[in-house]
Amino acid sequence: MSESLFLSQRIMRDRRESALRKGLVAIVDLGSSKITCLILAIDPALLRAPRADGVGRLDGQAGLKVIGAATTRSRGIEFGEIASMEEVERGVRTVIQSAQKAAEVRVDHVIACYSGGQPRSYGLLGEAEVEHGEVTESDIGAALADGEIPDYGAAREVIHALPVNFTLDHRTGLKDPRGLTGSRLSVDMHMMTVSQESILNIAQVMRRCDLELSGLVHSSYAAGLAAMIEDELELGGACIDLGGGSTGLSIFMKRQMIYADAVRLGGDHVTLDICKGLEISAQTAERIKTVHGGLVATSRDDRDLIELPRDSNDHSPGRQMISRAELIGVMRPRVEEILEAARDGLDAASFEHMPGRRIVLTGGGSQIPGLEEVATRILGRQVRTGRPLRIPGLPQDQTAAQFSAPVGMALHLAKPQDECWDFEMPADRAGKQRIRKAIRWFRDNW
Amino acid sequence: MRPVKRDYAPSRWRYRLARWWLSPRVRRMVTRWVPLTVVATVAAIVATDPDNQAYAAKQYDAIWSAIEARPEFAVTGLRIEGAGPALSAQIREVLDVQMPASSVSLDLSAARTRIEGLPPVASAQIAVGADRQLVVRVRSRTPVAAWRRMDGLWLLDVEGTVLGALDSREARADLPLVVGAGAQNHVREALALAEASGPLAERIQGLVRVGERRWDVVLSDEQRVLLPETGAVDALMHVLALQLGEEVLERDVAVFDMRNRARPTVRLGTHAVHEMRRLRAMETGEDA
């Protein structure tokens, strides 16, 4: 793995650690339809109080508290990527300021998540001999460094690199091999890349708002963490985050994300279809979609008439009415298209061969009535809609499905997984390592 | 071209200001240190100006004198309890209060200290009574003995405090006379002796402190009773008992020495000595 990547991610990780020590972190979800900010007060002592089985008190969530929350309509983000710097900056300013006002504190550290950047997943395998019989961090580092990095392109950047599975000799499925005895360690890694300019744009927005970007999470990952329950994470499942501009898709297995993807289709496309099909304004279309929208037509829907508001230039007398069945007829093909795209993504990851095949639908789009039925027909699996986990202090109006990604980020913050950059690189570290060993020896013995 | 209609967002400066205001250090500075500094500076400037100081002093005086002049604080008279006319005059002098006075400007504790500084005053209470009188209650010392020193005759109270000079012994013939250095520290014992003297009382001339340790009782006809350091009263009673039984003091005895209680000793007068020698000569048949 390249040194510069390690460095940049390490710096970000260090900033996150310092923010955690300081006890205040802002979480900003840059979505295509809304920008959300949660200000979290963190009690590091509670956060780091794991039980013997590695699960902390309330799984680490007792240390978190949402003390300020704000949401605003998002402008200038298309397909989850920043399209207008000025507008996004204004949006971030708005949410940060109102969340700060609610929390009555000033936050400097921001962890952002976004759904664009055309994520791509890579599976990597690294192997190393165990040096001293017992697996140490340096062995893990060596194994991770051994993984052959695919050529992911010049304009792309790694956003997540997670050691997913460790195999020590013949034992596989280890989460943390440190301290175990063996001779040959191999590690499966999941690496996720996004386009470089999307990261740089987000960093630029945060800089323009005088904030320090101390972490970046892809929203498909975050949404999965928030919307899936323990069993689904453990046994394997997929989370489909139906957002406004894009649909995120993540597959979890043994609590690790093993695949993620995003489809550049979302709820906004449904709105646009209604807008074009019924010849009404986009705002009206959005309202009709949220109030009357549905996916499964019944005979009653033919009689359910929806009055369309007229725009100000329409001088014709009489009211314009459509039946709900018509609306469903407009919405359904697009939703099916989105779900089919998601299915293609799942197929690419050979999701059908996985043991547990629960699919969780979350995000704002998952609130369309009848979605579960359509999704079951298309995805052919056991499907449910999921809302984010309740974390302390989360306002009632932020517990809806469209807030999965910010809540997931809070959970990710509470229980950060060891990512690849947490381990030492074996290259050119002989001198340093020796000094470090000496220091460690001193610290252990004195 | 119409301006673009946008959603509300705080302007960049407004946003920065809000964040600035939320940072604790800035907030503490603005809400605490800046006002404190301004107030302190203004106060210092105003206070150091001499005109202002003079004006403040004038105002203070005016307010103070207005308070003093309130009829509620007026003290119209002085009443001294427990002192004779001479002592009253003395107290009036040391008190030095012009009537009518104001009770707020009276320093009663200092006045009390001054009054208690007077020798004839044992203790004093001083208060402004409900009838707007300044009441001084004095417990005066009473002279119990006259003390003769080289420089004259002085009055002593029980504690041994010198209360004042005495012009002549006849002025206070009722008081016992004590003489000698250190006599003032044993006035109580001297009084007990004088009291115990009983039938000898009219014969006692005075009590002499000898060597700052014991008493002599000087009687008329230059007779002396020498008393021990301890148990002087008992020794005197012993002498009285002897006087009642044997009338020893009626005889020609110059000194009656009771310093050793177990062996009272008598020194005879000159005439008695001659008589005794004559009688002894007669007994032995020799001619005197």
> Which residue in A106, A209, A211, A212 has the most chain B C-beta atoms within 10 A of its own C-beta, making it the best mutation to test that interface?
A106
Q: Tell me, yes or no, if B31 comes closer than 8 A to chain A by beta carbon.
A: no
* Fold (topology level) of B71-140: Ubiquitin-like (UB roll) (3.10.20)
A220–chain B nearest CA distance, Å: 28
> Which residue in A22, A24, A84, A93 has the most chain B C-beta atoms within 10 A of its own C-beta, making it the best mutation to test that interface?
A93
pTM exceeds 0.90, yes or no: no
Please tell me the distance from the alpha carbon of residue A258 to that of residue A252, in angstroms, as a whole number.
6
| Strand arrangement of the beta sheet that strand A24-30 belongs to | A64-73, A34-42, A24-30, A109-114, A212-218
Strand A247-253 to strand A237-242: parallel, antiparallel, or no bridges (unpaired)?
antiparallel
> Which residue in B4, B11, B12 has the most chain A C-beta atoms within 10 A of its own C-beta, making it the best mutation to test that interface?
B12
A131-145, A199-213, B191-205 — most confident range: A199-213
Q: Tell me, yes or no, if A180 comes closer than 8 A to chain B by beta carbon.
A: no
Of A155, A174, A194, the position where a domain reaches its end is A194
Does residue A415 have a pLDDT over 80?
A: no
Other CB atoms within 10 A of residue B124 CB = 23
Residue A75 to residue B7, Cβ atoms within 8 A:
yes
Strand A81-82 to strand A156-168: parallel, antiparallel, or no bridges (unpaired)?
unpaired
A182: tokens are: 């063996």
Of A194, A227, A253, the position where a domain reaches its end is A194
Residue pLDDT, tens place only, B28-42: 999 999 999 999 999
Does residue A64 have a pLDDT over 90?
A: no
pLDDT of residue B287: 56
State the average pLDDT over residues A188-199.
88
A295: domain CATH number?
A: 3.30.420.40
| Of residues A87, A90, A105, nearest to B22 (C-beta) | A105
Q: What counts of helices (H) and strands (E) characterise chain A? A: 14, 18
Question: Is A311 contained in some domain?
Answer: yes
Q: Tell me, yes or no, if A72 comes closer than 8 A to chain B by beta carbon.
A: yes
B180: tokens are: 């000698």
State the average pLDDT over residues A193-210.
90
Does residue B286 have a pLDDT over 70?
A: no
Helical spans, DSSP H, in A380-429? 404-414
Of A194, A219, A236, the position where a domain reaches its end is A194
Chain A residues whose beta carbon lies within 8 Å of the beta carbon of residue B23: 106
Does residue A430 have a pLDDT over 50?
A: no
Q: Dihedrals φ, ψ of B285, to 5°?
A: 85, 10
Where are the domains positioned within chain B?
Answer: 9-46, 71-140, 145-277
Other CB atoms within 10 A of residue A160 CB = 22
N-terminal to C-terminal alpha carbon distance within chain B: 167
Residue A73 to residue B16, Cβ atoms within 8 A:
no
Please tell me the distance from the alpha carbon of residue A104 to that of residue A56, in angstroms, as a whole number.
29
Residues written for chain B: 288
Strand B74-75 to strand A358-362: parallel, antiparallel, or no bridges (unpaired)?
unpaired
Closest B-chain CA to A106: B22
A125: domain CATH number?
A: 3.30.1490.110
CATH for B145-277 (3.40.50, 1.10.10, 3.40.1350, 2.40.30): 3.40.50
| Of residues B7, B10, B24, nearest to A73 (C-beta) | B7
A400: tokens are: 């809806």
Does residue B178 have a pLDDT over 80?
A: yes
Please tell me the distance from the alpha carbon of residue A60 to that of residue A42, in angstroms, as a whole number.
10
Question: Is A429 contained in some domain?
Answer: no
Residue A97 to residue B15, Cβ atoms within 8 A:
yes
Please tell me the distance from the alpha carbon of residue B190 to that of residue A290, in angstroms, as a whole number.
119
Question: Is A298 contained in some domain?
Answer: yes
Q: In this structure, are residues A105 and A39 in contact, taking their beta carbons and an 8 Å threshold? A: yes
The single-letter DSSP state of residue B117 is T
Please tell me the distance from the alpha carbon of residue B248 to that of residue B242, in angstroms, as a whole number.
6
Sign of the Cα torsion A368, A370, A371, A374 reads negative
Domain encompassing residue A298: 267-334
Residue pLDDT, tens place only, A17-28: 788 888 899 999
Q: Which residues of A119-156 are buried (b: 16+ CB within 10 A; e: fewer)?
A: bbbbebebebebeeeebbebbbbbbbbbbebeeeeeeb
Of A46 and A363, which is predicted with more confidence? A363
pLDDT of residue B288: 47
Residue A93 to residue B23, Cβ atoms within 8 A:
no
| Of residues A73, A97, A106, nearest to B10 (C-beta) | A97
> Which residue in B7, B13, B23 has the most chain A C-beta atoms within 10 A of its own C-beta, making it the best mutation to test that interface?
B7
Residues written for chain A: 446
Please tell me the distance from the alpha carbon of residue A385 to that of residue A401, in angstroms, as a whole number.
8
Please tell me the distance from the alpha carbon of residue A439 to that of residue B10, in angstroms, as a whole number.
51
Size of interface A-B (CB pairs under 8 A): 37
Does residue B217 have a pLDDT over 60?
A: yes
Chain B residues whose beta carbon lies within 8 Å of the beta carbon of residue A94: 7-10
Please tell me the distance from the alpha carbon of residue A282 to that of residue B160, in angstroms, as a whole number.
115
Q: In this structure, are residues A82 and A437 in contact, taking their beta carbons and an 8 Å threshold? A: no
Q: Which residues of A272-296 are buried (b: 16+ CB within 10 A; e: fewer)?
A: ebbbebbebeeebbbbbbeebbbbe
A427: tokens are: 């290259």
The single-letter DSSP state of residue A183 is S
| Of residues B8, B9, B19, nearest to A106 (C-beta) | B19
Q: Which residues contact B250 (CB under 8 A, 6 or more apart)?
A: B243
Chain B residues whose beta carbon lies within 8 Å of the beta carbon of residue A96: 15
Q: What is the ipTM of this complex?
A: 0.77
Residue pLDDT, tens place only, A209-230: 999 888 888 999 999 999 998 8
Does residue A433 have a pLDDT over 70?
A: no
Closest A-chain CA to B25: A106
Of A333 and A172, which is predicted with more confidence? A333
Q: In this structure, are residues A374 and A295 in contact, taking their beta carbons and an 8 Å threshold? A: yes
Residue pLDDT, tens place only, B100-135: 778 787 888 888 888 888 877 878 888 887 788 888
Does residue B269 have a pLDDT over 80?
A: yes
Please tell me the distance from the alpha carbon of residue A308 to that of residue A48, in angstroms, as a whole number.
55
Does residue A82 have a pLDDT over 70?
A: yes
State the average pLDDT over residues A85-97.
93
Question: Is A69 contained in some domain?
Answer: no
| Of residues B9, B19, B23, nearest to A94 (C-beta) | B9
A205-209, A366-370, B104-108: the lowest-pLDDT one? B104-108
Q: Considering only CA atoms, which of A406, A367, A368 is closest in space to residue A386?
A: A367
Please tell me the distance from the alpha carbon of residue A348 to that of residue A344, in angstroms, as a whole number.
6
Number of domains in chain A: 2
Question: Is A176 contained in some domain?
Answer: yes
